[in-house]
C-alpha cells in the first residue's frame, strides 16, 4: 500500500504549540493554516530574486545568514523582494535565534495573511526537530486488525483471525511484565523506509476485549507500567488454527515477510492448538529477534555445526 504524504495535514497551531513558537503577527488569522509537507525551505535564492522552483508550500525558515543579507539590501530592492516573497501562499515564516522581523516583513505579512513566528533555537537545531516531527505527523499510514505489544523492547504485532486468541495472549504477556500498545485496531505510520511505528486510536487506548468477560482497561488493572503509547514494529506473529498435515517452519533458516506500506516486516506463522503456551512463544520470538539483530542466529549456528560435522 502506498499513500502519499499530502493526504495528511498538520494544523499550524499544533506546530506552534509543539515547538513553543511565538506568534509575532497576532492580527493574522492562522485558524485555517496547515502544513502538508515535511520538508522546509531557507529562502536564500528567493532573497536574491530567483523564484523558479520555489517550494512555497514548505515552511520558510530564516536564520542569521538570510537575515543579515536582507538587512544589507537597498531599501527599494528589499521591499520589492519581500513583497514578491510574501505574495506566495506559504504556511508561515519562522525567524530563528530570536531575530526580530524587519518592518517590511510585518507589513507584507499582514497584507498577504502570512504568519511570522519566532524561536530562540539555532537554525539547524530547529530545522532538524521540525523535520523529524513532521515526518511522523505526515507519515503514510494504515490501520490493521491485531494486537501490538512491547516485549523485551521488541515491537511484536500479533495478527490472526477473530477469535484465534490474540487478546488472551496479550493479557498473559501484560501479566508477565510486558507492555500493551494497541488491541484490536493498530494504527501504523511509515516514518522511514525501514521503520513502522504503531499506536492505538485514542478512543480505544488501553482497552482490551476478552471474549466471555468483556472489556477491561489494562492501564487501570495493571498500572501505568503495563501500557505504552507508541512502538516501532519489529516482528509480526501470525496466529492460525493448527492444520493436521500442514508443514510448519521448524528451523527458521529462511525468513518470511509481510509488507506494510511498502516496508517488509519479518513474520512468523504460529499454529494454535490446546496446550501451547503462546505467550512464552512470543517472548522467545522477541528474544530470538534481538539476538539476530546483534549478529547471532541460532538456526544458522546449528546448521553450520551440522554441515561441519558432515564435511568433517
How buried is 53 (Cβ within 10 angstroms: 0-12 exposed, 13-18 middle, 19+ buried)? Answer: exposed
> What nine digits make up the cell of 47?
532573497
CA distance 75 to 261: 51
Residues in contact with 277: Cβ distance below 8 Å, sequence separation at least 6, in sequence order:
none
Do the Cβ atoms of 209 and 183 come closer than 8 Å?
yes
Active site residues: 145, 166, 184, 250
Residues in contact with 208: Cβ distance below 8 Å, sequence separation at least 6, in sequence order:
167, 170, 171, 180, 183, 215, 216, 217, 218
Residues in contact with 55: Cβ distance below 8 Å, sequence separation at least 6, in sequence order:
37, 39, 41
Find the length of the chain.
Answer: 312
> What nine digits make up the cell of 29?
488569522
**Dihedral sign, Cα of residue 153, residue 155, residue 161, residue 167:** positive
φ, ψ of residue 300 in degrees (nearest 5): -70, -40
CA distance 255 to 234: 13
- Distance in Å from the first CA to the final CA of the chain: 49
Enclosing H/E stretch for 158:
strand 154-160
Residue (of 1, 258, 267, 259) closest to 156 by Cα position: 267
Amino acid at each position: 500500500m502506498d499513500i502519499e504524504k499530502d493526504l495528511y495535514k498538520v494544523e499550524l497551531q499544533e506546530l506552534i504549540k509543539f515547538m513553543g513558537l511565538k506568534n509575532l503577527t497576532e492580527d493574522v488569522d492562522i485558524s485555517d493554516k496547515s502544513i502538508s509537507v515535511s520538508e522546509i525551505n531557507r529562502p536564500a535564492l528567493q532573497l536574491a530574486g530567483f523564484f523558479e522552483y520555489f517550494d512555497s508550500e514548505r515552511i520558510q525558515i530564516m536564520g542569521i545568514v538570510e537575515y543579515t543579507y536582507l538587512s544589507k539590501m537597498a531599501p527599494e530592492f528589499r521591499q520589492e523582494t519581500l513583497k514578491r516573497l510574501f505574495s506566495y501562499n506559504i504556511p508561515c515564516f519562522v525567524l530563528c535565534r530570536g531575530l526580530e522581523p524587519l518592518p517590511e516583513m510585518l507589513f507584507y505579512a499582514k497584507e498577504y495573511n502570512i504568519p511570522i513566528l519566532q524561536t530562540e533555537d539555532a537554525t539547524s537545531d530547529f530545522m532538524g526537530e521540525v523535520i523529524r516531527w513532521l515526518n511522523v505527523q505526515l507519515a503514510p499510514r494504515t490501520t490493521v486488525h491485531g494486537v501490538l505489544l512491547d516485549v523485551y523492547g521488541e515491537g511484536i504485532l500479533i495478527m490472526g483471525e477473530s477469535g484465534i486468541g490474540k487478546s488472551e495472549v496479550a493479557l498473559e504477556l501484560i501479566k508477565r511484565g510486558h507492555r500493551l500498545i494497541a488491541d484490536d485496531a493498530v494504527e501504523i505510520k511509515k516514518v522511514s523506509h525501514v521503520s513502522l511505528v504503531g499506536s492505538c486510536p485514542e478512543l480505544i487506548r488501553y482497552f482490551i476485549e476478552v471474549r466471555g468477560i468483556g472489556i477491561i482497561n489494562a492501564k487501570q488493572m495493571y498500572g501505568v507500567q503495563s501500557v505504552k503509547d507508541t512502538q516501532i514494529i519489529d516482528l509480526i506473529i501470525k496466529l492460525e488454527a493448527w492444520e493436521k498435515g500442514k508443514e510448519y517452519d521448524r528451523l527458521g533458516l529462511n525468513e518470511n515477510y509481510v509488507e506494510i506500506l511498502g516496508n517488509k516486516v519479518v513474520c512468523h506463522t504460529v499454529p494454535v492448538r490446546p496446550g501451547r503456551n503462546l505467550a512464552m512463544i512470543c517472548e522467545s520470538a522477541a528474544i530470538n529477534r534481538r539476538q539476530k539483530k546483534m549478529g547471532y542466529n541460532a538456526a544458522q549456528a546449528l546448521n553450520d555445526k551440522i554441515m561441519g560435522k558432515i564435511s568433517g
